[in-house]
Amino acid sequence: MAKLNPADTAAMLDFVYELPDGYLNFPQHVLQLISKYFSHHILTFIPINTRNIAFRKLQMDSWLNDYVSLNLSDASMRNYNLHCFEDDIFRYKNLPQRLKNKTVVYIEDIMPYEQYCQLEYARQLMKFNLAYQAVIHLNYQDTKLGVISVYHTPEEGNFTEDDFALFETLARFITQHYAIAIGNSQRYMASTMFEACYDRLDLGVVMINDKLQVIKANSAAEMFADAILGSGAGAKVKKGIDAAGRYPHIQQVIRDIGSPIFLKKTEPATLSADGNLFEFYSSSFVSPNKNLSKIESLYIVFIFRNSKADLFSGANQQLLAVLTNREAEIVRLISKGYTNAQISEEIYISVHTVKTHILNIYKKLHVGNRTSLLHKLASE
Single-letter amino acid code for the residue at 33: L
Q: Give exposure, 234-251, as e/b (b: 16+ Cβ within 10 Å).
A: beeeeeeebeeeebbbbb
Single-letter amino acid code for the residue at 231: S
- Residue 281 to residue 158: CA distance in whole angstroms: 53
- Residue 145 to residue 316: CA distance in whole angstroms: 52
Clarify whether residues 110 and 19 are in a common domain: yes
- Among 43-52, 53-62, 290-299, which stretch is predicted with the lowest mean pLDDT? 53-62
String of DSSP letters for 140-192: ETTEEEEEEEEEE-TTT-S--HHHHHHHHHHHHHHHHHHHHHHHHHHHHHHHH
- Among 28-42, 73-87, 88-102, which stretch is predicted with the lowest mean pLDDT? 73-87
Quick one: pLDDT at residue 240?
36
Question: Higher model confidence: residue 297 or residue 14?
Answer: 14
What integer is the mean pLDDT of 111-135?
A: 94
Say which CATH number the domain at 269 has.
3.30.450
* Owning domain of residue 274: 198-305
- Residue 43 to residue 289: CA distance in whole angstroms: 30
Decide if 143 contacts 295 (C-beta within 8 A): yes
Clarify whether residues 87 and 143 are in a common domain: yes
Clarify whether residues 255 and 367 are in a common domain: no
Dump pLDDT digits (tens) for 292-325.
556 677 788 888 876 544 555 555 666 777 888 8
- Among 20-34, 123-137, 191-205, which stretch is predicted with the lowest mean pLDDT? 191-205
Clarify whether residues 39 and 58 are in a common domain: yes
Quick one: pLDDT at residue 51?
42
Dump pLDDT digits (tens) for 345-369.
888 888 888 988 999 988 888 888 8
Q: Report whether pLDDT(188) > 70.
A: no
Q: What is the mean pLDDT of the chain?
A: 78
Quick one: pLDDT at residue 260?
58
Domain annotation covers residue 189: no
- Among 126-135, 208-217, 272-281, which stretch is predicted with the lowest mean pLDDT? 272-281
- Residue 345 to residue 25: CA distance in whole angstroms: 60
- Residue 72 to residue 151: CA distance in whole angstroms: 10
Domain annotation covers residue 24: yes
Q: Report whether pLDDT(264) > 80.
A: no
Is the Cα torsion angle 329, 334, 338, 339 positive or negative in sign?
positive
Domain annotation covers residue 82: yes
Quick one: pLDDT at residue 163?
95
Clarify whether residues 106 and 17 are in a common domain: yes
- Residue 307 to residue 118: CA distance in whole angstroms: 67
Clarify whether residues 156 and 20 are in a common domain: yes
Domain annotation covers residue 174: yes
Domain annotation covers residue 1: no
- Among 15-24, 102-111, 135-144, 281-290, which stretch is predicted with the lowest mean pLDDT? 281-290
Clarify whether residues 266 and 339 are in a common domain: no
Q: Report whether pLDDT(23) > 70.
A: yes
Domain annotation covers residue 352: yes
Q: Report whether pLDDT(117) > 90.
A: yes
- Residue 96 to residue 14: CA distance in whole angstroms: 35
- Which of 136, 153, 184 is the endpoint of a domain? 184
Clarify whether residues 11 and 77 are in a common domain: yes
Quick one: pLDDT at residue 170?
95
- Residue 142 to residue 31: CA distance in whole angstroms: 24
What is the value of pTM for the model shown? 0.52
Q: Report whether pLDDT(68) > 70.
A: yes
Quick one: pLDDT at residue 114?
96
Domain annotation covers residue 190: no
Decide if 148 contacts 138 (C-beta within 8 A): yes
- Which of 266, 287, 305 is the endpoint of a domain? 305
Is the Cα torsion angle 346, 328, 266, 224 positive or negative in sign?
negative
Q: What are phi and psi of 312, to 5 degrees?
A: -120, 20
Clarify whether residues 21 and 95 are in a common domain: yes
Quick one: pLDDT at residue 36?
95
Total domains in the fold of the chain: 3
Single-letter amino acid code for the residue at 90: F
Dump pLDDT digits (tens) for 237-256.
443 334 446 788 888 888 87
Domain annotation covers residue 310: no
The pLDDT-based confidence of 182 (bands split at 50, 70, 90) is confident
Q: Report whether pLDDT(55) > 90.
A: no
CA R_g for the chain = 29
Is the Cα torsion angle 192, 198, 201, 203 positive or negative in sign?
positive
